[in-house]
Amino acid sequence: MDELDQALRAMAKCEAFSLPPAYETAMDGLEEQARRGTLARRGKRRLGRRMLLLAAAAAVLLAATAVSMDFWNVRVEDVLVGQEGSSYRVNGEIPVIPIERFSDAVTSAVAEVSQKMAEQDPILNSSPGYWFRTFDSWTDCEEFVGFPLDNPLELTGLLETANYSAIAQNAESLDEESRRHCAVALRGNTEGELQHLTVDTGYLMGEIRIQMTVSLYPEGSGMEPGTGASWNGEAGFEVTSSVTGGGIPYTLVATETPKNDYYNDFSSADAYFILENGLYTLHAVSPGRNSGADVKAALEELLALF
């Protein structure tokens, strides 16, 4: 976190924010009803015909995915498609990593997180416990984490190195910290236990931005494993499964992005697979809603390297 972030967080903490009296009164009433167990929804919404049809299509898709789950070991679930929003979750047999495999640097970071959590006001900070650092190289990330993380993208000539969010590292909008190639984010708890760790890195394949995220779950983690995606508006998901060059099963979701003002004009696809240590996500984005086939082809080319 840079100085500006710290300054903005300090500003946010100092700013007075008064709640409308009517809101306070309404919330008092809701809390009382919740305490008595009498709180109920204020009228059910009905789903439109179009949404019902899409939900039915999603159910078919889910059924198909469930059948193949045992083999593909990564499953797309909770698929929802509707005019208001579309989303899916990805889950699978994600390996759990013995805590002793993580480096001392990770242990120190978690201890730091735990100490900060103890010092923070839980009311002002609804989700402390987070730690983030950027690194110049994948090797530096591996060293920090404590064990190797398979990443053939580092060796291929197909890609140009980008920052961890897959933005060109010379982009003027990036500060020094944001130009770095990789990032590690971890979450700890008040007991000083690591809950989750992710490693992000980014590349460019011509106009296509590629971001890879590796999610690692230590033994004893209380976090729900998995990942997912969600869109405002009605998206189309095309789910396919195959195997990487090394025979690792993957699931690829090509997304037809919703046509609304909320999104820029782009195409997107995500591939999910599990390697020895964790859940890998390859996220590809390309300009133009008609470039979906290019994005998918790019991901397939890269998946052949794993």
Partner 1 sequence: MAIPEQERDRFCRVLHEQRTSLYRLALSITRDPADAQEAVAEAVCRACERFHQLRERDKLPQWLLRITANESRRLCKKRGRTVPLETLAAEPADPAQALPDLSLWQAVQSLPRDQREAVVLFYYEDLPAEEIARIVGASPGAVRVRLSRARAKLRELLKEGEHG
Q: How far is CA 292 from the centre of its chain?
A: 21
DSSP assignment of 249-282 equals EEEEEEEE---STTS-SEEEEEEEEE-SSSEEEE
Helix (H) or strand (E) holding 58: helix 49-72
Q: Which is nearer to partner 1, 23 or 246 (CB)?
A: 23
Helix (H) and strand (E) counts for the chain?
Answer: 6, 13
Tell me, what amino acid is at 287?
P
- Residue 247 C-beta: closest distance to partner 1, Å: 27
Q: Which is nearer to partner 1, 168 or 243 (CB)?
A: 168
- Least CB distance to partner 1 at residue 158 (A): 19
Distance in Å, CB of 124 to partner 1, minimum: 8
DSSP-derived secondary structure for 123-156: TT-SS--EEEEEESSHHHHHHHHTS----GGGT-
Tell me the C-alpha distance between 25 and 31, whole Å: 10
From the CB of 80, what's the least distance to partner 1, in Å? 10
CB of 279 to partner 1, least distance (A): 13
DSSP SS3 for 203: strand
105-112 long-range contacts (CB < 8 A, ≥24 apart) are 105/144, 105/146, 106/144, 106/145, 106/146, 106/186, 106/194, 106/197, 107/194, 109/133, 109/186, 109/188, 110/186, 110/188, 110/192, 110/193, 110/194, 111/188, 111/192
Residue numbers at the binding site for partner 1 (CB under 8 A): 4-5, 8-9, 11-12, 15, 17, 19-20, 22-24, 26-27, 30-31, 34-35, 37-42, 84-85, 87, 122-123, 125-128, 130, 132, 164-167, 173-174, 178, 185, 187, 196, 198, 200, 202, 211, 213, 222-224, 229-232, 262, 270, 281, 283
Beta carbon of residue 293, minimum distance to partner 1 (angstroms, whole number): 21
* Tokens (6 digits) for 223: 């976090």
Q: Return the number of the residue (202 or 292) whose C-beta is nearest partner 1.
A: 202
Which among 198, 236, 195 is positioned nearest to 215, based on CA atoms?
Answer: 198
Q: Residue 92 corresponds to which tokens in the numbers above?
A: 């699978």
| CB of residue 87 to partner 1, shortest distance in Å | 6
Helix (H, G, I), strand (E, B) or coil at 70: helix
Query: Is 22 or 71 the residue whose CB approaches partner 1 more closely?
Result: 22
Q: Which residue number, 100 or 176, has a Cβ lying nearer to partner 1?
A: 176
Residue with tokens 């969010």: 165
Q: Which is nearer to partner 1, 127 or 157 (CB)?
A: 127
Q: Please list the residues that pair with 185 across neighbouring strands.
A: 132, 198
Nearer to partner 1, 199 or 303 (CB): 199
C-beta of 168: minimal distance to partner 1 in Å? 12
Query: Which residue, 85 or 236, is less far from partner 1 as judged by CB?
Result: 85
